[in-house]
Structure 1
């Protein structure tokens, strides 16, 4: 149980969270890109299904600098049972990215925040959300390794880790980047359009990560069709601004379609072409989780001007063991 002096999380309305969290996150781009975008995703409706919270209370004025240096922000939509549910950020992530480490007392602060967060989820009811009461499994998405290390320290002794995958977090700009200029045209007969809805089953069948059709229909995407208007390649931007589900069918590999479709998608995102589905691309960045040694994906990320900005994890914790 938490003591009186332990950190605690305070719930914000969606409006309060957007007006308070985004200005705090913006200086930390691109490291804060996952949460910065996830907060603004149009899928956060109705907002009563979601949790917006921080280690400081809502206030008409910005939090004091002492809180800004050590706060933790969180978004959660635990009604998304088959997908990642929780995104969180602490500004110490930026310090870690710049220096490669943080002080021991700063690590302890992060650990105390994460313990408070787990207890916060255990004690917070969201009866209006689909599927309430929720499973006790907390599914953290695209969480920076600085935070994951402290989650492991909390969860491993309790045997509460149910899933833990590590990825290189690639970061790429979506605006005014020379890397996004197409260097060659598509082969004759190929065309660029959004993914046709009647071919979405092809996209879902080739994904190694479970995807929900309803979610995919609402995400920014671009596809390349062959001369008979059948899918050859496609790419999506996920609800947290990630370059996801990039795929080229086997018979079309070796034609440069992967980098072409990725460049096209990021260019359109950066200039705001997906405003009709609620994605304005305001951060100016996209990120992608790539397994270390995945040469194909690494080559695509380099082709669009990306570089590794750290390690991210997808981490599931059994909160019943806390």
Structure 2
């Protein structure tokens, strides 16, 4: 199946993503985010000159930027993710043959692209990877590494291993069957539930306690944000994201915050311990969705969508999402895949 490069504003691509919302929400947001380097590739299995009427029933699209490693480099969506998409009685389970071909064609194409250099500000991540290799020299798919910061960077030593984010569990399964999933690296064992929210159905944003005020997260606040999360995000990336913060009026200290990730998902939601149990996390979430989500993912019926990815078993975050009317839609994962190591017998 042929693969085509698209511009972010490609009319057929944006029409295809719009018509498949909310299922395509991560890729839809990512293609629209202004933080896009010259190394980004937006790909689809239909041409940029296609009319909306000529877009095939089965297709796949992706956003790839290898220069962003160790942050998420790749997002993929295929129409096979939509429940009921496959009509064949022989293919009731899993993706249809054409959707599988579309995904694998994208991956094959990615393997032919040049690898740009890592951004200089991410070089400390490579140092962590090298140190991890010294401490744990075993390599290969059967290697077992102990938890630690270096584990999340170790894949950087293998140039063709890519971090694939917010990926539908059946796409991950397909890549595993094709021999591309690298199980010695973290992610494949950690399912997340994707929650969708209709922005129009969100509750009213509640007032903050008297001693607090609203604001946006500033550059001087990012050190504490990075210290409170294990997810590798540079200050540069965080500054490119929409944010909502809550600050003590007396000290100007941030006590709660969240961001909309590069794919529009709720990310880095945090409340300092002394302010928990007061509904602040819920208020922060409602505010960022209402202020920054309404125009970014709007379906053909003019419904605006927002979303959040929550690790299975994170009862507190799941409860928060449900209290806002969110519904768990599908299992997703963040995984490392080897984009040039495909079993050619899998088609």
- Look up the match of 2:71: 83
Picking from 127, 137, 161, the partner of 1:137 is 161
Q: Distance in 2 between matches of 1:144 and 1:264?
A: 27
Q: Distance in 2 between matches of 1:298 and 1:98?
A: 30
TM-superposed CA distance for 1:257, in Å, is 0.8
Picking from 265, 286, 290, the partner of 1:267 is 290
Corresponding pairs, count: 296
- Look up the match of 1:312: 332
Range that drifts further, 90-99 or 109-118: 90-99
Q: Distance in 2 between matches of 1:255 and 1:98?
A: 46
Name stretches of at least 5 consecutive residues in structure 2 with no aligned partner: 121-157, 299-303, 343-347
- Look up the match of 2:179: 155
- CA gap of 1:320–1:98, structure 2 versus 1, over 3 A, is closer
Task: With the length of structure 2 as denominator, give the TM-score of the two structures.
Answer: 0.77
- CA gap of 1:95–1:216, structure 2 versus 1, over 3 A, is same
Answer yes or no: is the 8 Å Cα contact 1:160–1:321 preserved in 2: no
Answer yes or no: is the 8 Å Cα contact 1:122–1:136 preserved in 2: yes
**Which SS does the other structure have where 2:282 is aligned?**
helix
Q: After superposition, what is the alpha-carbon deviation per residue over 1:174-232, rounded to whole angstroms, capped at 9, x for unaligned?
A: 2x22x3303x4211111111113212111110012111110101111101112322111
**Which SS does the other structure have where 1:143 is aligned?**
strand
Picking from 35, 43, 51, the partner of 1:61 is 51
Please list, as runs of the form range in 1=range in 2, the aligned pairs for 1:34-53 lying within 5 A after superposition. Answer: 34-46=26-38, 49-53=39-43
Please list, as runs of the form range in 1=range in 2, the aligned pairs for 1:194-273 lying within 5 A after superposition. Answer: 194-227=216-249, 228-270=251-293
| 1:291 paired to 2:311 | yes
TM-superposed CA distance for 1:105, in Å, is 8.4
Q: Distance in 2 between matches of 1:151 and 1:96?
A: 21
| 1:19 paired to 2:44 | no
Q: Distance in 2 between matches of 1:270 and 1:117?
A: 28
Q: Distance in 2 between matches of 1:57 and 1:202?
A: 44
**Which SS does the other structure have where 2:66 is aligned?**
coil
Q: Distance in 2 between matches of 1:98 and 1:269?
A: 34
**Which SS does the other structure have where 1:8 is aligned?**
coil
Answer yes or no: is the 8 Å Cα contact 1:290–1:297 preserved in 2: yes
Please list, as runs of the form range in 1=range in 2, the aligned pairs for 1:109-148 lying within 5 A after superposition. Answer: 109-125=98-114, 135-148=159-172
- CA gap of 1:63–1:295, structure 2 versus 1, over 3 A, is same
Answer yes or no: is the 8 Å Cα contact 1:144–1:313 preserved in 2: yes
Task: With the length of structure 1 as denominator, give the TM-score of the two structures.
Answer: 0.83
Answer yes or no: is the 8 Å Cα contact 1:161–1:317 preserved in 2: no
**Which SS does the other structure have where 1:321 is aligned?**
coil
- CA gap of 1:63–1:194, structure 2 versus 1, over 3 A, is same
- CA gap of 1:124–1:308, structure 2 versus 1, over 3 A, is same
Name stretches of at least 5 consecutive residues in structure 1 with no aligned partner: 1-6, 272-279
- Look up the match of 1:275: none
